[in-house]
């Protein structure tokens, strides 16, 4: 029953003022995975994360973290999750070591169980343990945020996309650490705008738009969708029967004499599609092709739900 790291059922949020930020969202995050939560700006990602963090009060639905319902058992739910916020906010007069000690104190971690230096080492900030936070670079601050989210050793960590001022090298470093954490058994949820990143890192990808869950599937399946290619054919005569072939994944009649065939480009090329159609005795008068990539899929999924 508690196999999921996070379980969300029929979650809705309507802000005071009437804005519906989440609309009946349900999904599970399996333990031990890296889960990507994608969606354009304003989709509802932060609302969802903040609901889990106990910062936003949901309108309806249920959510649990590591088997603990956020309403019935908020303390345990909170103890099992670490959240890395988007915004960097530090007291400039605390050193990284002090920041971690303070955070551990907030979570009630006894002194004997604190592991500030170990965490600083893990995020490669051990040589900055006693430097003032204001002397740290943007990248160092970001890594300190990750360490802060880990002080109570939660089995689940959520990284809200670090956007502004994060360069490629820093992202790489951050993701390397995320993978390292995951290898140690930590379940990771990350929000990102970058499909490529999600593709590389995540086992499973959910996309939300306008507060609605549009898709939630293994990354491999999403990428398979990107292997699909579409050819649109206009035939001389109206079609009576839909042409069928093993390598056709979908055949759609657009109008009497126009067909759209979705095929797997690993199995067939456009020329072969045409041959198959011609061998059925159908004469082709016009052809256009279209290739889907992850970006396309993302766009089509998010625009369909508009």
Give the binding site for ligand ADP (CB under 6 A): 15, 17, 19, 21, 39, 41-47
Give min distance, CB of 44 to ligand ADP, in A: 4
Residue 278: which region, alpha, beta or left (left: phi > 0; alpha: psi -120 to 50)? alpha
Q: CB 51 → ligand ADP: shortest distance, Å?
A: 9
**What is the Cα–Cα distance from 178 to 184, expressed in whole angstroms?**
10
- CA–CA gap between residue 113 and residue 23 (Å, rounded): 41
Cβ nearer to ligand ADP, comparing 43 with 147: 43
The residue among 39 and 82 lying less far from ligand ADP, judged by its C-beta, is 39
Which residues, 6+ apart, have CB-to-CB distance to 214 below 8 Å? 207, 208, 301, 302, 304, 305
Phi, psi of 51 (to 5 degrees): -65, -45
> CA–CA distance from 36 to each of 196, 200, 201 (Å)?
11, 10, 8
Q: Considering beta carbons, is residue 41 or 112 the nearer one to ligand ADP?
A: 41
Nearer to ligand ADP, 121 or 193 (CB): 193
CB of 191 to ligand ADP, least distance (A): 7
Q: How far is the CB of 29 from ligand ADP (least distance, A)?
A: 17
**Which neighbouring-strand residues pair with 69?**
64
Please report how close the Cβ of residue 151 comes to ligand ADP at its closest, in angstroms.
25
Q: Is 266 exposed, middle or buried (0-12, 13-18, 19+ CB in 10 A)?
A: exposed
Closer by beta carbon to ligand ADP, 7 or else 209? 209
């Amino acid at each position: 029953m508690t196999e999921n790291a996070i379980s969300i059922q029929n979650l809705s949020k309507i802000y005071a003022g009437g804005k519906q930020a989440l609309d009946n969202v349900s999904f599970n995050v399996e333990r031990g995975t890296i889960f990507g939560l994608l969606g354009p700006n304003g989709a509802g990602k932060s609302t969802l994360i903040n609901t889990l963090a106990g910062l936003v009060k949901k309108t309806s639905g249920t959510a649990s973290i590591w088997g603990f319902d956020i309403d019935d058992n908020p303390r345990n739910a909170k103890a099992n999750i670490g959240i890395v916020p988007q915004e960097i906010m530090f007291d400039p007069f605390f050193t990284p070591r002090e920041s971690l000690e303070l955070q551990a104190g907030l979570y009630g971690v006894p002194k004997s169980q604190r592991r500030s230096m170990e965490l600083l080492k893990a995020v490669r900030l051990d040589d900055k343990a006693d430097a003032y936070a204001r002397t740290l670079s943007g990248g160092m601050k970001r890594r300190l945020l990750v360490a802060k989210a880990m002080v109570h050793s939660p089995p689940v960590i959520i990284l809200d996309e670090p956007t502004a001022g994060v360069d490629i090298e820093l992202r790489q470093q951050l993701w390397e650490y995320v993978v390292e954490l995951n290898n140690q058994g930590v379940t990771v949820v990350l929000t990102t705008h970058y499909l490529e990143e999600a593709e590389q890192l995540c086992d499973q990808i959910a996309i939300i738009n306008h507060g609605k869950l549009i898709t939630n599937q293994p990354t491999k399946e999403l990428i398979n969708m990107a292997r699909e290619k579409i050819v649109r054919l206009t035939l001389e005569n109206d079609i009576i029967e839909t042409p069928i072939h093993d390598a056709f994944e979908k055949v759609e009649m657009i109008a009497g004499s126009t067909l759209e065939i979705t095929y797997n480009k690993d199995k067939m090329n456009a020329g072969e599609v045409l041959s198959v159609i011609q061998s059925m005795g159908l004469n082709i008068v016009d052809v256009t092709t279209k290739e889907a990539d992850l970006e396309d899929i993302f766009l089509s999924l998010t625009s369909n739900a508009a």
